[in-house]
């Protein structure tokens, strides 16, 4: 992203400089020089900043104690559910054989 922005701004600056050479109106030249200044700022920021596109507001921190998930509870409920499902299947399968 940084490289693409630098290339884009350099091409834009070349175009604006050509337009400055072609015009004789002082007000238009002043506006075009402002554009060149803004493009130079963009190039400078892109080259200098490590975080050009994104800015870290607050760095991530690991929590001091674990909150979720409670693995013991998940395992207990999962085991209970699977056991109940196996009992139901066993009963249904035996009824089908007996009938």
* 89 pLDDT above the threshold of 70: no
* Sequence-ordered list of residues with C-beta below 8 angstroms from that of 68, at least 6 positions apart, any chain: none
- pLDDT tens readout for residues 23-45: 888 888 898 889 889 888 888 87
Name the nearest CA neighbour of 16 among 4, 30, 3, 33: 33
Q: What is the pTM of this model?
A: 0.45
* 81 pLDDT above the threshold of 60: yes
d(CA 33, CA 29): 6
d(CA 72, CA 13): 63
């Amino acid at each position: 992203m940084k490289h693409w922005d630098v290339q884009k701004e350099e091409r834009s600056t070349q175009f604006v400089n050509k337009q400055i050479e072609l015009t004789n109106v002082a007000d238009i030249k002043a506006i075009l020089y402002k554009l060149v200044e803004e493009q130079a700022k963009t190039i400078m920021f892109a080259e200098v900043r490590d975080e050009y596109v994104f800015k870290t507001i607050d760095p991530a921190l690991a929590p001091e104690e674990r909150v979720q998930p409670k693995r013991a509870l998940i395992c207990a409920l999962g085991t209970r559910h699977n056991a109940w499902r196996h009992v139901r299947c066993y009963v249904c399968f035996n009824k089908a054989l007996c009938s």
